[in-house]
A = this chain, B = another copy of it.
Amino acid sequence: LYHITCRGHGGAVLPAFCAVAGEDGVSLGTAVREQHGRDESVHSCRPPDVVVWPRSVEEVSALAKICHRHRLPIVPFGTGTGLEGGVGAVKGGVCFSLRKMDRVLDLHQEDFDVTVEPGVTRKALNSYLRDTGLWFPVDPGADASLCGMAATSASGTNAVRYGTMRENVLNLEVVLADGTVLHTAGEGRRPRKTSAGYNLTNLFVGSEGTLGVLTKATLRLYGIPELMVSTVCSFPSVQAAVDSTVQVLQAGIPIARIEFLDDVMMDACNRFSGLSYAVSPTLFLEFHGSEKSLEEQVTITEDITRGNGGSDFSWAQDAETRGQLWKARHDAWYAALALRPGCKAYATDVCVPISLLPHIIVETKKDLTENRLTGPIAGHVGDGNFHCLMVLDPDDPDEVQRVHQFTERLARRALSLNGTCTGEHGVGLGKRALLQEEVGPLAIDVMRRLKATLDPENLMNPGKIL
């Protein structure tokens, strides 16, 4: 047996199947860097004492029991692509890297469901499904693990049509803090709907590893649409772009994606990708369906956008041209970074009722200018959700401070408009104080009591959410 001693926590001994730093070709340094890839500019790196790579739920359970006995914090780790510091080990302890559990299990094509282990990413699942005519549409941008996406209640560009993780997880296998194995909807169950008892599945979706380690997720799948058409349209104002969005939704157009980029973002994308889009508020739209239905969707949408002063559509149907058209949107992160070479980026995340989007975006752009900050805006406008891609020099403490204050003001602006401080990135480390303002002391108290019920020793990803 190969034993590992966990420093700083009374010398707990972990069994052989816990590959540790340096073993198995993955160094602790790599794992830690992985954990802090995208958000290190905002949330400082806090490495765990040890990293383990369990290969099965039995191993996760056995490890959790050891951690429970020795009061070691457990930090679940999927792909480390989260944006609010959710995988930082603020109290040390054991990082459970779940990448070795990467099997796609139990695909049921006729029932439109599949079960995956926590190391399976969304792109890996969609590759696996390629010949089935099915796909999993939730797309947060990064190639995140699906259980990580469930843990953070992720969504992204397709949510306006297909929903977020909340609507698309049917069942979860979870290792609780004491190492017991829970099936939130009962083992192996996969009805498309149920009203059997408390909705434990949706208690764990969005719990960010603070209530248990997700070791399996059963997901809804969808038929791949016969055709997809993408269009781009620029507008004279933010208001005109948002009005178009509301009218498209009111007209019942089953739009698959409707993404907003502001003038600063469009300028950055033009420069980065050698494009020549108008430098003005712009919508990127995607329609899914059959040929006739697409024709009609596009016609009605074009009428609506023209009525709001929108430009003629640039549009594309084949995969390659669609790819080119969406290049600006897909490269937004890198285009933003390229605005200031050598800097880091941090994506904010707020969501408000759609009609209040023009107001908050105009106010926010003013705030950015006044505070000399670089923050091009991109948003899932159909949901009222948008991000400022803050580009900052992490070695400039004054700028770091200004970005921090700006993101807090932005979140409070969203709260003052009946919105949320996080539409899809989660609370993690960064938004705990804002969460308290958002839901109020009683809801926080209820959340704390739920947490204490399921994890009385506060071992599961401590210091996050609450």
Binding site for B on A (CB under 8 A): 108, 110-113, 133, 152-155, 159, 163-164, 166-167, 180-200, 202-203, 205-207, 211, 222-226, 246, 249-252, 254, 288-290, 292-293, 295-297, 300, 351-356, 383-385, 414-415, 418-427, 431, 435, 438-440, 442-444, 446-447, 449-454, 465-466
CA distance A30 to B414 in the complex (A): 47
Cβ of B425 and Cβ of A195 under 8 Å apart?
A: yes
User: Which partner residue on chain B sits nearest A439 by CB separation?
Assistant: B186
With a CB–CB cut-off of 8 A, which chain B residues contact A110? Answer: 246, 353-355
Cβ of B108 and Cβ of A427 under 8 Å apart?
A: no
User: Could you say which of B111, B197, B199, B421 contacts A435, with CB atoms under 8 Å apart?
Assistant: B197
With a CB–CB cut-off of 8 A, which chain B residues contact A293? Answer: 289, 292-293, 296-297
Cβ of A195 and Cβ of B426 under 8 Å apart?
A: yes
CA distance A431 to B188 in the complex (A): 19
**A465 with B198: in contact, given A355-B110, A450-B453 (CB under 8 Å)?**
yes
CA distance A205 to B202 in the complex (A): 10
CA distance A177 to B15 in the complex (A): 45
User: Could you say which of B189, B222, B289 contacts A418, with CB atoms under 8 Å apart?
Assistant: B189
Q: Can you identify 26 A-B contacts, CB atoms within 8 angstroms? A: A111-B354, A164-B193, A166-B193, A166-B202, A167-B167, A182-B443, A186-B415, A189-B418, A190-B418, A191-B353, A191-B385, A193-B423, A194-B423, A195-B420, A195-B422, A196-B420, A196-B422, A197-B465, A197-B466, A198-B206, A200-B439, A224-B252, A225-B252, A252-B290, A292-B293, A449-B454
CA distance A421 to B186 in the complex (A): 11
User: Could you say which of B166, B252, B419, B447 contacts A191, with CB atoms under 8 Å apart?
Assistant: B419
Taking the closest CB of chain B, its distance from the CB of A154, in whole angstroms, is 7
Taking the closest CB of chain B, its distance from the CB of A122, in whole angstroms, is 17
Taking the closest CB of chain B, its distance from the CB of A254, in whole angstroms, is 6
User: Could you say which of B205, B415, B453 contacts A453, with CB atoms under 8 Å apart?
Assistant: B453
With a CB–CB cut-off of 8 A, which chain B residues contact A153? Answer: 194-195, 199
User: Could you say which of B194, B199, B224, B438 contacts A351, with CB atoms under 8 Å apart?
Assistant: B194
With a CB–CB cut-off of 8 A, which chain B residues contact A415? Answer: 186
**What 6 A-B pairs have minimum CB-CB distances, sorted nearest first?**
A110-B355, A153-B195, A111-B353, A202-B202, A186-B439, A194-B420
Cβ of B200 and Cβ of A206 under 8 Å apart?
A: no
Cβ of A189 and Cβ of B438 under 8 Å apart?
A: yes
Cβ of B108 and Cβ of A186 under 8 Å apart?
A: no
CA distance A383 to B249 in the complex (A): 25
